[in-house]
């Protein structure tokens, strides 16, 4: 039996559990869509738009994720766990207090999101109850993300995977009980799906808190706060968060374009997004590995080793997403059927999947190289690349093509063109090597 070289084992040991964890994370979200899909297309749109609108909130989480990873992975790479532990403690406190105003704001504006999209009255009623319930999980999600990212920064991607395995099973059970009112539980519909998600996230947070307090990780459980370390994390995290916020804003505008084609097209798009998300979540594991190994390599003063690690990760990711693209292109109907049995929705979702299946290899470049540059602290450059491409290759062309042809396929073609342009631009940026000079 051929034994993989040590550098391959290092990457796979980190990437596979992270990929499984990301896949399970997406499955936990998709569970809501699958189960409410048996209620109606209105329920699918309500949950799908609700999750997509919450991406504005999750964009703020990028600040925590990128800042935590870039800062702590460098300390881990330089074998300074005392400093890393102080950084973790600082970011945990910051995450909690950051979550409170975000939670209040989103609870107030949640119901307006569906009005902005001009959706049917049934969708507005269902969606408002779904998103308002979800906002209660935000403090737990914010702090939990810092824990997970800190573990990833040490190379421990298995612990989050095990936690997620248990939580997704619980999420399915809670959905079965609360959505449909089985075994004497109230029949809450989409609000029940949201409540189940809230409960699961609270329990996940409690597990990570226990691991931290009981010193079950490489971090020392201290309660110190360093303004200096927070500033260093924010220096990297704020541009990444700003990028993600504007990116999601662009995506919402893109969804508005699609919403003009009717409820079935919009429902198909929402389901297609979730299926695509399932397809590339394993690739996200390699992205996390790229971000971590980049930070550790630079922390250890080994930039060339970091570069070699990223290129190897890229090869794995391209191979994986090339295989997954076959399923999206050649058997989308069989996949979409899991989410809904509405014939028109299946057709619309299948069209979306066939087109985006063609862009999975460029998407692999986007994931890995964006992650590597962020791990190096080069978040201003990724901000520029993503925003310019999004607006001038995706959004504006999609608006014009939709107006001129009135055919959804041209909107989707603008989307995959954006993916290709970003992949080329990120590759050239990575090859130039300016990221080696960045201080975090």
Average the pLDDT over each of 158-162, 181-185, 276-280 and give the range with the smallest value: 276-280
Q: Does position 38 have pLDDT exceeding 70, yes or no?
A: no
* Domain ranges, ordered by start, for the chain: 6-431
Helix axis angle, 227-259 to 379-389, nearest 10°: 10
Q: Is the dihedral of CA 342, 348, 354, 356 positive or negative?
A: negative
Q: How confident is the model at residue 182 (pLDDT cuts 50, 70, 90)?
A: confident
Cβ atoms within 10 A of the Cβ of 162, count? Answer: 13
Q: Are 320 and 18 in contact (CB under 8 A)?
A: no
How long a stretch of residues is the chain?
Answer: 440
What does the pLDDT look like over 213-253, one tens digit per residue? 999 999 999 888 899 999 999 999 999 888 888 777 777 78
What does the pLDDT look like over 334-368, one tens digit per residue? 888 877 778 888 898 999 999 999 999 999 999 99
What does the pLDDT look like over 300-325, one tens digit per residue? 999 999 999 999 999 999 999 999 89
Q: How confident is the model at residue 418 (pLDDT cuts 50, 70, 90)?
A: very high
Cβ atoms within 10 A of the Cβ of 112, count? Answer: 12
Q: How confident is the model at residue 1 (pLDDT cuts 50, 70, 90)?
A: very low
Q: Which residues lie closer than 8 Å to 54 by C-beta, 6 or more apart?
A: 106, 131, 134
Q: Are 16 and 9 in contact (CB under 8 A)?
A: no
Please indicate whether residue 426 or residue 35 has the higher confidence score (pLDDT).
426
What does the pLDDT look like over 100-135, one tens digit per residue? 999 998 888 877 777 766 666 767 767 777 888 888
Quote the pLDDT of residue 361.
Answer: 93
What does the pLDDT look like over 361-381, one tens digit per residue? 999 999 999 999 999 999 999
**Arithmetic mean of pLDDT over the chain:** 87
Q: Are 21 and 164 in contact (CB under 8 A)?
A: yes
What does the pLDDT look like over 275-294, one tens digit per residue? 887 777 777 889 999 999 99
């Amino acid at each position: 039996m051929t034994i993989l070289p040590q550098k391959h084992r290092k990457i796979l040991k980190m990437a596979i559990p992270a990929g499984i964890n990301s896949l399970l994370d997406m499955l936990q979200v998709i569970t809501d869509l699958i189960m409410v899909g048996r209620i109606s297309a209105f329920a699918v749109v309500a949950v799908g738009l609700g999750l997509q609108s919450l991406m504005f909130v999750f964009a703020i989480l990028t600040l925590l994720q990128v800042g935590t990873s870039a800062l702590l992975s460098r300390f881990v790479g330089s074998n300074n766990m005392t400093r890393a532990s102080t950084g973790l403690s600082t970011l945990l406190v910051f995450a909690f207090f950051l979550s409170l105003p975000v939670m209040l704001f989103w609870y107030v504006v949640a119901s307006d999101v569906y009005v902005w999209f001009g959706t049917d009255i049934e969708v507005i009623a269902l969606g408002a109850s779904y998103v308002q319930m979800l906002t209660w999980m935000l403090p737990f999600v914010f702090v939990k993300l810092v824990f997970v990212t800190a573990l990833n920064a040490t190379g421990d991607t298995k612990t989050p995977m095990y936690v997620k395995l248990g939580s997704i099973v619980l999420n399915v059970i809670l959905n079965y009980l609360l959505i449909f009112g089985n075994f004497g539980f109230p029949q809450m519909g989409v609000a029940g799906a949201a409540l189940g998600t809230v409960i699961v996230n609270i329990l996940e947070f409690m597990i990570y808190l226990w691991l931290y307090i009981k010193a079950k990780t490489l971090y020392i459980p201290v309660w110190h706060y360093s303004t200096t370390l927070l500033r260093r994390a924010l220096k990297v995290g704020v541009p990444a968060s700003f990028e993600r916020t504007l990116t999601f804003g662009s995506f919402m505008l893109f969804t508005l374009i699609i919403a003009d084609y009717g409820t079935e097209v919009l429902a198909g798009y929402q389901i297609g997004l979730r299926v695509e998300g399932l397809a590339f979540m394993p690739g996200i594991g390699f992205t996390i590995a790229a971000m971590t190994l980049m930070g550790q390599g630079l922390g250890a003063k080994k930039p060339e080793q970091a570069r070699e690690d990223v290129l190897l990760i890229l090869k794995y990711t391209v191979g994986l997403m090339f295989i997954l693209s076959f399923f999206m292109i050649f058997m989308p109907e069989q996949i979409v059927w899991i989410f809904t049995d509405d014939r028109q929705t299946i057709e619309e979702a299948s069209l979306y999947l066939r087109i985006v299946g063609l862009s999975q290899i460029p998407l692999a470049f986007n994931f890995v190289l964006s992650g590597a540059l962020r791990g190096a602290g080069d978040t201003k450059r990724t901000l520029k690349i993503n925003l310019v491409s999004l607006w001038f290759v995706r959004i504006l062309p999609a608006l014009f093509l939709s107006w001129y042809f009135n055919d959804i396929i041209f909107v989707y073609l603008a989307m995959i063109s954006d993916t290709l342009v970003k992949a080329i631009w990120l590759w050239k940026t990575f090859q130039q090597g300016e990221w080696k000079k960045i201080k975090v």
